[in-house]
Amino acid sequence: MKTSTKAILVATLVGLVGIGGLAKAARAIPMQSTKPAAIEVAEREMSETRETGESRDDLIDAHQSAKLRALAKITPQQAQQAAEATVAGKATSVKLENENGSLVYSVAIAQKEVIVDAGNGRVLSTESLNSEGSESNVRSSIQVSQTGMGDGDGERNDDG
């Protein structure tokens, strides 16, 4: 919108509702945040955590989870759909994880764990939940720091 159009609009509003009414209207309009939605969710979670007295570690986990959510290019629902299309059954849980530096969704279906790339939605592996200690070496299209997210600037490797 042009500056002159804005000025005319403001002048018209002032004329219609008066300066006091305009001030009330401005206060009533919520300000839009410039933060990513995932960061806002994390801040809300951290605020709720403080209110319930949860530990500092829980706060750190909530913040790191928000950073991971901000890096993911697909939603948990999209990961669930991809997993359910690969393995017959209904998903019981979907978790976003940093698995050995790869950002993936871990989707539990029956007695299987389906690993879905959080960058492109491809199914990377399917494992039995009963096989303890078998850690897959998957590599997703989004790579993140393995040590607690480091300084928060996870490298994005979208070539794959």
Residue-wise pLDDT tens digits, 76-87: 999 999 999 999
Same-domain pairing of 114 and 64: no
Task: Note whether 25 and 81 are same-domain residues.
Answer: no
| Whether residue 64 is found in the same domain as residue 125 | no
CA nearest to 120, candidates 74, 82, 70, 75: 74
In the chain, the number of structural domains is 3
- Taking the model in full, what pTM does it have? 0.56
Residue 86: which domain range? 74-160
Q: What 3-state class would DSSP assign to 97?
A: strand
pLDDT digits (tens, 9 = 90+) for 1-50: 566 555 555 555 555 555 555 455 555 555 555 567 767 777 776 666 55
Are 79 and 114 contained in the same domain? yes
**Which of the four pLDDT bands, split at 50, 70 and 90, describes residue 111?**
very high
**Closest by Cα among 114, 116, 112 to 129:** 112
- Say if residue 66 is in the same domain as residue 133: no
Residue 81 neighbours by CB under 8 Å, 6+ apart: none
